[in-house]
Amino acid sequence: MTEPIADEGLSKGTQLTVSAPPKSAEKTEAFVPPYPFRYEQMPPIWTLIGMAKKNFLSIWGMGDFQSRLRSTRVFTRELVICNRPDVVREAFQSNHRALQRKSPQMRHALEPLLGDGLFVSDTDTWAKRRKVVAPIIHGSRVPGFAPIMVDTIIEKRDEWAALPNGAEIDALEEMAHLTAEIISRTIFGRNLGANYASEVVEGFSDYQRHIDQIDLISMFGLPEWLPRFRGRAIRKSKDRILKVLDEIIDSYSAQKDAGEASVIGGLLEARDENGEPLSRDAIRNEAAVIFMAGHETTANTLAWAWYLLSQSPATAQKLHLEIDTVLGDKTPTFKDVADLPYTKAVIEETLRLYPPVPILAREAMEDTEIGGKAIPKGSLVMVVPWLMHRNPVLWSKPDAFWPERFLQKSKRPNKYGYVPFSIGPRICAGLQFGMTEAILSLAILARKFEPKLKPGTDVQPVARLTLRPGADLPMLLQTRAA
């Protein structure tokens, strides 16, 4: 990010080696998708701050990708970047107590929308809410959710089928509508519908576009309680989303009286250790967390997958062969997911190259230590999937789109070196939900369609709160031959 004070890893004489890909992978050159310019000599800190306000991915230099443990000082804050499995494990697993708090930037960016929701809370609040929220989207529930997912995806497939061959779509918006509808039907027990889906999707997009990317108040060491300015655009986008959530929560009583089951009931009926229910604000905050995590990240992943496949004919051909062989014309079920390893590998490789949350930042709540380095209280500790997933010490062909790497059972990535859903106690509770949703969506839609990037479109990754392929992703919807 800036010139390092210390770089523990390569600076200790580590040999930078990149293992050669299998000979079978050398027959066709793997597609290398776009990424921002990487500096050899970093610009001044004020330049980097200006760049970060527009795109968090543009501030990294060559050394940041290759390092193990790198530290620097930004104004009053010590900034430490963990970029190898051993130090990631130390930071997010062993030192969870000291490093469980999200960074000030993330807390203040999401507080208007999520309040004290699970994604941004810590200590007792986080521990108590995790017990309530985690069972709602636990992996054990996913087989029961799968039929609803499939029905919703088939509706999208039929919607696409009604369009003329070659029709232009915004793949990013289409996937956002799809995943918003899936999360609403599975978790909240009701159809969202096109109008409500648009409110949520556009609300999240506007919120990301206008929210501050850098929390200068905290970087200068000013008091946490100082107010952050929120413009009218932030309030408007927040209100659009929360209005939908309020109506969803209000509809639960009617659903319950009609005998309909709804997972959101777990929030409304939950009781803490004192027998007290969650407050209305707490319920809405947790509903907002589930909605944000359940639709935004998977939508981005699917949009990136469509783009990558459109630029990788050989990979698309392998994907189609697997889908045609395993599924044929039948409607898939949850059990079919296990028989789609290449489809899963495409999703995993997409998550490696374009992790939905590309920076995982924590604030040290007390003095601690990582890799023998002292971490003073108040330091910012970052695990940056964007860097680690492209670290040439850890990955062969780190910038290339090569799903086959995830099919090599003897070379599966270390779980602390591949962290698209975070890792440790704060790992995403909806990991299996999101993976199942993405695999089924890709399999069902790719069985009938092969979206092609609209000619002349320049796709560039942009990270604000999440990593997107720009503001939109125009593609031409090509129907596959029978």
25-45 pLDDT, tens digit per residue, is 445 689 999 999 998 888 887
114-127 pLDDT, tens digit per residue, is 999 999 999 999 99
Quick one: average pLDDT of 81-85? 96
Q: Which two tokens stand for residue 68?
A: 């193990």
Give the DSSP H/E element, type plus range, for residue 415: none
271-325 pLDDT, tens digit per residue, is 777 778 888 888 889 888 888 888 889 999 999 999 999 999 999 999 999 999 9
182-191 pLDDT, tens digit per residue, is 988 888 877 7
Beta bridge partners of 74: 77
Q: Whole-angstrom Cα distance, residue 290 to residue 134?
A: 10
- The SS3 call for residue 20 is coil
Question: Dihedral sign, CA of 22, 24, 29, 33?
Answer: negative
Amino acid at 70: R
Beta bridge partners of 82: 69, 383
Left, alpha or beta for 367 (phi > 0: left; psi -120 to 50: alpha)? beta
**Predicted TM-score (pTM) of this structure:** 0.89
The conformation of residue 293, written as its DSSP 8-state character, comes to: I
Identify which of 388, 371, 399, 391 has the alpha carbon closest to the alpha carbon of residue 461. Answer: 399
Long-range contact set of residues 2-6: C-beta below 8 Å, sequence gap at least 24 = 2/42, 2/45, 2/48, 2/72, 2/74, 3/42, 3/72, 4/63, 4/67, 4/70, 4/71, 4/72, 5/71, 5/72, 5/73, 6/69, 6/70, 6/71, 6/373
Q: Which two tokens stand for residue 128?
A: 């108590």
